[in-house]
Structures are given as structure tokens and as C-alpha cells.
Amino acid sequence: MTAPVTWTSEDTEEVDCCLCGVRGRPVHDLAPFAVVRCPRCGLVFVSPRLRPEALQRLYDDVGYFEGGVYGGAVEGGAAQEPRRLDPAMLLQRTWTAGRLALLDRVRGRGPGGRLLEVGAGYGLFLDAARRAGWEASGVELSRTGARHAREVLGLDVFCGQLADAPLRPGFDVVCAWDTVEHVPDPLEFWRTARSLVADDGVVLFSTPYVSSLPARLLGTRWWTLKPAEHIWHFTPRTHAVLLARAGLALTRVVHSPLAAANAGRLDSLVGVARPVPR
């Protein structure tokens, strides 16, 4: 990863709990960042955290995805086809197949209709969804990722924040894989998603969760803490509270690392939510 590894207090800002509007109490000091917990609702978040302009620099760095689930998708600053035999890519394909199968199960029918992925990365899930029969479109903040999705895979991907995307409401499915922990305001994010999903649609998402065994045992050594990027840390309960405030009901949570949709992930979950009738 070639993104900056040293941040200063000038790159950060203080924020309040997105649910309660109050300052959090310290959990971990990771200067210039801090992990805090809301004294009212228990939501864990990062404050101080990177300012929006610093965060954009992080996601725009061509090395941001390198070494992760995208394998060699970035090489010398240019978008390349990911290495298909990379172990991380094998996991990526397992998750993709598992999540598409989970989507069919919770809907009670096969592919078909409009699907939106927020946080589309390089477009690998969107590409698989399109091949499965979905009318697929996406939103991605990273200019490098969005460019790969558009230019290499030929996908319809808007580069920017979800709230700024020119999208027509009525999506049958909205997906957000490992995304909501990154967004500036998760409540506003889910409210926007609720405005885009059809009343009989479904929302699927994944996130690390701070009540997982690795998070509780490892503390500041938890590999998913990443305070520059992961600025909100959820539990199933805080997910449910947040979604309910946005007009969505959490109906299913998959924790098991043996489930295809969550394969090998000891500290992450996959959630399913449905719109609450207006």
C-alpha cells in the first residue's frame, strides 16, 4: 500500500455520534486518532478522524487496493485485470457467489431487476451480478476503482458519494459490502439507501464488528481496527438501531466464517435488511 502511513492532527477532525449527537468516551488512543464509544447508544467510532479531503487522498492513492482482495488490479498506476489465482481473489469469488446465492434466498426468487452496489471497488461483484442477470450499477469513491470498473469491465459506476449520485429510485436490491464503516455519516447513508430501494426491495451489507471475538481479544492489535479508514465500528445491536432510525429493519445476520457469504471472516458479518413500510 503506497498511501500515506503518517498522519498528523492537522489531517483530523472531532466528530460526534451520528445517532446521539454527543462526544464519545475513549476506548483506544491511536494518535492522532482515537477510538471512542458513545455513552448513550454504545456505538463505537473514530474521533478525531481524517478530514474528508485527507480521506479522499487515501482512497485515490493507486496503491489503496493493492495486496487486498483485488490482487494485482493496480500496477504502475494503471488499472489491470486482477490476478485470478491470487488467494485473496479466490476468497473474493467465494464471497461473491455466496452473497448472490443469499440474495436469491432472501428474495425467494432468482436474479432479475435493478441492483445497486455502493462501494463498488473495482466492480468485481457488480460484474458477477450483471452476468447473473441483474441490471447492475454502482457508486464508488475511489477514482482508481471507479475507473477500472468503467473502463475495464464496462460497468455503470458513479465516482463520488452516494448522496451525490444521479440515481433513479426503485432499486430491487441495494448492496454495501464493507462500505458503511467508511462513510462520514452512516445514518445519512442508510437514509439515502432507503430512499433508493423499492418498498418491497432488500438491502444487503457486510462490515467488521467490534463485538467479534478477535476484536475483543486483540484490542489495539485487532487487524481490522484501521482508524484512518474504518471510522465506525458496529455490533449487531447498533446496526439494528441505526437501520431502524433510517427506516430499515435488520432481518438477518450471518456471523459464521463457514458461510459462503462470509467465508473465512472471523470478525465480520453479513446483514440483510428490508424497508419499513412508510
Look at residues 245, 119, 121, 142 and name the one whose alpha carbon lies nearest to residue 190: 245
Confidence of residue 77 (pLDDT cuts 50, 70, 90): very low
Burial class for 245, CB neighbours closer than 10 Å (0-12, 13-18, 19+)? middle
Report, as an integer, the average pLDDT of 34-57: 94
Percent of the chain at pLDDT > 70 equals 89
Burial class for 224, CB neighbours closer than 10 Å (0-12, 13-18, 19+)? buried
Report, as an integer, the average pLDDT of 127-154: 96
User: Is 90 exceeded by the pLDDT of residue 195?
Assistant: yes
- Domains delineated in the chain: 9-75+84-275 (3.40.50.150)
Confidence of residue 88 (pLDDT cuts 50, 70, 90): confident
Considering the entire predicted model, what is its pTM? 0.90
User: Is 90 exceeded by the pLDDT of residue 46?
Assistant: yes
Q: How far is CA 4 from CA 20, 179, 182, 263, in A?
A: 32, 21, 17, 30
Tell me the C-alpha distance between 78 and 208, whole Å: 29
Residues in the chain, how many? 278
Give the per-residue pLDDT at 62: 58
Reported as a single tens digit per residue, the pLDDT across 224-264 is 999 999 999 999 999 999 999 999 999 999 999 999 999 99
The three cell numbers locating residue 22: 454527543
Burial class for 125, CB neighbours closer than 10 Å (0-12, 13-18, 19+)? buried
DSSP line for 166-185: ---S-EEEEEEET-TTTSS-
